[in-house]
Structure 1
Amino acid sequence: MVVGKIVNTTHVSDAHLSLTDSKSFELLEFLNNIADEQSLELRDITTLVKHTLPLYPSIPVGFREKLKRLVSKSLPLLNHIIGFVASLKGSPETEIYKTFLIDVASEEINCLFNYLGAVRNAVELRLVQSVFMGSKLYNCLATSLSVTDYMAILKNQVQFALLRGCSQKLKSLGELLSAFLSFHPAYACDVLFGEIVLQSSLSLECFTQTLKATSRLAQSRLYRGLTRFLSKVSNESNSTSIYNVLEKTGFAGSNYRELIELKAPILRRVIITLECHGTRIACYEGLIDAFGKHEPAHDADVCQLLVMILQSFSQETKELLSHQERFLNAVTARLSSQDTLIRERTMFIGKLLTNGKLSFDSPFQIHTPSFNKPESEAINLESLKPSGELSSNKKDHQLERKINSLKLSEGTASNHSIFFLKDLLNEFNKTSKSRYGLTELLEITVSLVRQKKDFKTEVDFYADSLISTLSTLSNSFEEQNFEEWKTNAIVSILVTAPHKVFTLIKVLFEADLSLQQRMSILSSLALAARELRGLNDQMIVKLEDCSWKPPKNGSTAQLSNKTQKLVKDTVLQEGTVTWKSRKLSKDLEKRTNENRFQAVAAKFFFPLAHGWLNGIDLGPYDKMFKQHYLTTLRLILSAADPHSELNQMCEMMLLVMKSAEEQDIIIQT
């Protein structure tokens, strides 16, 4: 071993030594010796990282390959390199290390497989997960690699590990696949199931074996990811293949909440057909409780699922269930509703459960797709490949494209070629590589999300990723109107998918944000609450405003007069952030006939109120932030009226106000 010599003789400045130099010979001798060793000592790792890798661009190709193979077999070495890059803090040398890491991850596709094979306990498995799936490696490469590029690298690593996985490591592999889904909620699901598992019979078989061997928690996450993917590609023509895939993988069914989340009716029918009687009964019990609450946001889904489950029961089972107190109480509660549709659904389900004994003449029906357990076990994997972006069937996809093209071509905002939210996310993730500026992307977000308000499957699927991306954006290049368009973009997502407010609140409390980013989130929550309530704030761009042409080359935006108020009320230029509390005048408020905030008011208010009561401390900006926080809570509370939990909200608001008074927070009126 010649470690000592290398430590003393090699340095970044020696990168271009000729191979006739003795130091270069010593370097090559060191590499030649160490590359064939099974394990590395700490001093060897230190030598490689500090003194050898800076020479990576200038050493012969054969030795570069040896270096990459060496790292592909040693997780401690890879981990040490990542840590060393972080310690360099932007030094020019970091680009050499990043290039090397990208080469290793993309060319040595057996890295993950090798590291997994060396795992001896849960601690080592968590280390592998944190490096690949926990974004440790990605954070190191983020300035050189987009998230989509990194996902492509992960795909090859995961695919190799899945196809080559040994029986002794299947449990650990299942944990890794589960962690893979968490890395990027939108893309990872498409990649794992659309580009790996369902690409071939062999991949599906390997995935099935892995599923059966892994932990219950990992199984649950993987099954949930699989059904989410299948919900995007399901239609009546491939329902047999979907059934056989789920049956082959050992899928036992979903709980009622998961069934509600799956928006494809044919997939719901397939899953219910696949479930055993006990699982159906458990789903029924959850659904009948939700049926009694008749929440507007989910009532149509709950009723459709109840019909599907009841159609699968025998007459004896339905007779027994029809006399249960929970069913009778649910029917009584719903029949007292003033909503005709609620009463119609109630009577239809009541007639079905009582086998027609309930007398009620009405043409109203709840339609459900038909499906019978297939006799064949054949699986047509080609039929499970998405025919378009997030379309559950070809007809819907064509309709979506037609609507989008009409809206975009009729207006003047069609100077971009983004028609799907996945493409939009991709542009945000490209950062400096995108052909759009950040402000322009935010404008496109407002237009695109609001145009897709009726395509819930797509918006719901990408909402989490969009919210996380938008809320953590910062105006690094001081683009004009950035903050108001950012707020508009977040509001557009919240009013289209209000139940995703939990994601935004989670970012507020858990992410490492600047004061400006936190203030922007609070502004978005308040304005979204008001719009959902039916109030019209002029600073929020609605669908009818989306025909505006984005400014280019410094041109002035035609919407600046509409968004200027938002700048004045939520942010001051030059980075100073304030919130001006004011009584909104009547001409800024136009009530609509629909109040969509009632169904989600509690989800907006209570987490924020609890967050205050649990304690907030932003140091020198604490009072400024808390004043803005109080104003947000008050706006949300005012929008919540009327609400069944309004008294509880008011009581909690009093506690918040009392706490603010004790902290000398000025309560503006």
Structure 2
Amino acid sequence: MLDRPDLSLLHGECDGQTVSRVVEEIATSNASLDIVAMMTIVKRVLPFFPSLNPNSRNHLTKMVSHSFPFLCQIVSFVRAMPGDQQEARIYKEVLLEVLQNENWLLNYIKQCKTKLERGNLKSVIFGSKLFNVLAPDINMLAYLELLKTQWSVVFDRPFLVSSGYSDLLTSMLVLHSTLSPDVIFGQLVLTDDHHFECFKLIVSGAKLFDQRRLINFLLSYLQMHTNLKNYHNALAVLEKLPLHKSVDLEMILHLNSLILQELLLRLPPHENPGLVLELTRKFADAQEEDEKICQLLVIMLKHKMNSVEKGDLSRDPSFLDAVTKRLSSEDAALRERTMYVAKLVSDGELKYESDFVIVIPDLNLAPAHKIDYDALKEGEAAVVRQPLSLSHDVVRLTLSDDAEPVVFLKDLIKKYESNDKKQRVPLLQLTVKLLRQKKNFPLEVGYYSTTLLPQLATLNNAQEESQFEHWRINALVSLIVVTPEAVRTLQRILFTSELSLQQRMSLLSGLGLAARELRGEDNGSLVVKPEYDFPTRRLPWDKPTQNAIERKSEPGSALSQTVWRSKKLDKEAGPSNINTNRFKKHAQTFFYPLAQGWFRGIQLGTYDKLFKTHYLKTLTIIYDCSYPHAEYEQMTEAMLQVTKQALEQGITP
């Protein structure tokens, strides 16, 4: 029986020498501490932490690092303290020193054996409890890197890896869906064979739900770092994982990297009939993702399906009905895609003269080789900074070059999350610069948009800076113009977040101005649009594939022929038309959620009429930008209903 140290000495008046003696007794006794003893130490010992000798401090941090309940007591105690209480900083100092102990996570995992204990471990360490206690003394990226160091210790003991680890690793990835994958995959899993093998063990032992989430996070990371130079390494990573259970067509469609999509489709585990059936159904619908659907079909037809399977598909009634339906469309590009797919299905038996081609990567999948992990970090391109000089007459928005240089969006997000009290206008200006520089990298911007948009939308003008709202709007416009799909995130923030009136007005202004710019309209001095010329040519896989349709009439013939010409042929003729309509593809996504939001009802009390007037103006701008569109008549009907309701409320557009 171990002798328990006498903690009664800590009650009443005691000095630092007494505290150090008690700590030494606790450390040498090796007796387990109950909750009462832990709370006695928390209340009576830890406040002396800064003045204790190094040996006593080390004993205390070791105690906490070896006892998860002890850590929980400290976290709960600090959370209950007033935020401005000076003692809170001492407890945070203790926690930070504990986090730097190399084995605490491994110790906690060993201790937490029941489902309830594992759930508590998730919520404290991989949820937000511990981080919220430490913030703003530590930012999210630094916290994740501390967790990564702990995972590295766990990975060094692969015999301990079991199904429970997948739940914890998934929780860390969910903790910050943008930064966590960079830390976990970029700095740990994809650094050497040992760490990747440990990750394989975790994925293989995971429940199906966790397995899907882990692989989905990995794919999201890989699509940012896979290109035509290093795809063999991405393939070597993927073929070692159990993708046949966890990857389906919806997950593949969600990716924005055609290279990664082709790798997934061509991996052996995928069965052709099921995938082709799903693709055929989507092919028949001919919706917004039609171009992507057709590319995936072409990959299957060229690289996965044999002649017998193609013959079966060519006689399938659902496929034939889909072709008939699509050929009756007024969209010339859709008809061309239909005929190209039909020619491949018929193995060339269908005669149709056209130069139109659906381009796919056509990857050369060599046999598996040793993974070059460094090559998988090359996908993210650095942005070349260029001097900028702009002047604007109306609102006089000018960009300053005095700000600290930032070339990666993850570093920009880190600045937003730093919680410092510096002026925010320079940061917003930096955001506009960086996003405009990234205009040809929509994958990267889209990847970080889910984290950056909430930061922009909820930012407060605490320093009462002039032109703050102008720059917030410019940052929102810059982001949406690069990746229009992010408008869904912005709309969700508008309708579901607790925002001030000014924040809501700025979000609406950003939506309207972004719609105009995508439509090819000039926003004048309201929007800063710096242009950057890269000193080197774009890589082939980064070049947007843009084609134009021309109608040529042969002399003496009433028929016209569709000829596809690359816009690169026109580069000698001068700059491309600035009025290119990029908004048409996204018109529905911009218009309908706002219209539905109006129909659901808006109530802002005293400011109701002011906000609704601005809301109606924004919706009118988006409606005007939507012409021409296949659903313009339906939009017109909805707009008429909105206008009618507005007039009944005394609001004029």
After superposition, give the CA deviation of every residue in 1:77-131 in whole Å (9 maximum; x if it has no partner).
Answer: 32332333332222222222222222212x1233332222233444433322222
In 1, the alpha carbon distance for the partners of 2:209 and 2:61 equals 34
Matched, 1:309 2:313: no
Residue 70 of structure 2 aligns to which amino acid in structure 1? L
CA contact (8 A) 2:481 2:518 kept: yes
Residue 322 of structure 2 aligns to which amino acid in structure 1? A
Of the three residues 203, 206, 209, the one matched with 1:214 is: 206
In 2, the alpha carbon distance for the partners of 1:158 and 1:237 equals 30
Question: Do the aligned partners of residues 151 and 454 (structure 1) sit closer, same or farther apart at CA in structure 2, a change above 3 Å counting?
Answer: same
Matched, 1:380 2:371: yes
Task: Say how many residue pairs are matched.
Answer: 594
Residue 328 of structure 1 aligns to which amino acid in structure 2? L
Of the three residues 145, 149, 156, the one matched with 1:163 is: 156
In 2, the alpha carbon distance for the partners of 1:608 and 1:32 equals 67
CA contact (8 A) 1:155 1:192 kept: yes
Aligned ranges 1:392-541 → 2 under 5 Å: 397=381, 401=383, 404-405=384-385, 407-408=386-387, 414-416=401-403, 417-432=405-420, 437-538=423-524, 540-541=526-527
Question: Do the aligned partners of residues 368 and 541 (structure 1) sit closer, same or farther apart at CA in structure 2, a change above 3 Å counting?
Answer: same
After superposition, give the CA deviation of every residue in 1:447-469 in whole Å (9 maximum; x if it has no partner).
Answer: 22123222222212222121122
CA contact (8 A) 1:255 1:282 kept: no
CA offset at residue 196 of structure 1? 0.8
2:356 matched residue in structure 1: 364
Moved more, 252-261 or 45-54: 252-261
**SS of residue in 1 equivalent to 2:199:** helix
2:324 matched residue in structure 1: 332
1:578 matched residue in structure 2: none
CA contact (8 A) 2:47 2:91 kept: yes
CA offset at residue 143 of structure 1? 1.5
1:667 matched residue in structure 2: 651
CA offset at residue 509 of structure 1? 4.1
Moved more, 649-658 or 253-262: 649-658
2:91 matched residue in structure 1: 97
In 1, the alpha carbon distance for the partners of 2:31 and 2:502 equals 51
RMSD of equivalent CA atoms: 3.4
Question: Do the aligned partners of residues 339 and 226 (structure 1) sit closer, same or farther apart at CA in structure 2, a change above 3 Å counting?
Answer: same
2:342 matched residue in structure 1: 350
In 2, the alpha carbon distance for the partners of 1:369 and 1:109 equals 45
After superposition, give the CA deviation of every residue in 1:422-454 in whole Å (9 maximum; x if it has no partner).
Answer: 332233333439xx8421121122222123222
Matched, 1:130 2:123: yes
Percent identity between the aligned chains?
A: 35
1:74 matched residue in structure 2: 67
In 2, the alpha carbon distance for the partners of 1:239 and 1:158 equals 27
Residue 131 of structure 2 aligns to which amino acid in structure 1? Y
Question: Do the aligned partners of residues 648 and 339 (structure 1) sit closer, same or farther apart at CA in structure 2, a change above 3 Å counting?
Answer: closer
Matched, 1:228 2:216: no
In 1, the alpha carbon distance for the partners of 2:593 and 2:97 equals 44
CA contact (8 A) 2:27 2:59 kept: no
Residue 319 of structure 2 aligns to which amino acid in structure 1? F
1:25 matched residue in structure 2: 18
CA offset at residue 342 of structure 1? 3.4
Question: Do the aligned partners of residues 90 and 257 (structure 1) sit closer, same or farther apart at CA in structure 2, a change above 3 Å counting?
Answer: same
CA contact (8 A) 1:494 1:500 kept: yes
In 2, the alpha carbon distance for the partners of 1:316 and 1:658 equals 59
Structure 2: gaps of 5 or more residues: 391-398, 534-576
1:565 matched residue in structure 2: none
**SS of residue in 1 equivalent to 2:138:** coil
CA contact (8 A) 1:2 1:30 kept: no
CA offset at residue 59 of structure 1? 0.9
In 2, the alpha carbon distance for the partners of 1:506 and 1:69 equals 45
Question: Do the aligned partners of residues 103 and 658 (structure 1) sit closer, same or farther apart at CA in structure 2, a change above 3 Å counting?
Answer: farther
Structure 1: gaps of 5 or more residues: 11-16, 392-396, 548-590
TM-score (structure 2 length as normaliser): 0.81
Matched, 1:45 2:38: yes
CA offset at residue 386 of structure 1? 0.9
Residue 430 of structure 1 aligns to which amino acid in structure 2? S
After superposition, give the CA deviation of every residue in 1:132-177 in whole Å (9 maximum; x if it has no partner).
Answer: 332222222222112222221121122223333655x622210121
In 1, the alpha carbon distance for the partners of 2:10 and 2:634 equals 70
2:542 matched residue in structure 1: none
Residue 302 of structure 1 aligns to which amino acid in structure 2? I
After superposition, give the CA deviation of every residue in 1:23-71 in whole Å (9 maximum; x if it has no partner).
Answer: x324531563278656543322332333322211111212212222222
CA offset at residue 9 of structure 1? 2.9
Residue 350 of structure 1 aligns to which amino acid in structure 2? A
After superposition, give the CA deviation of every residue in 1:518-538 in whole Å (9 maximum; x if it has no partner).
Answer: 333233233333433444333
CA offset at residue 642 of structure 1? 4.7
TM-score (structure 1 length as normaliser): 0.79
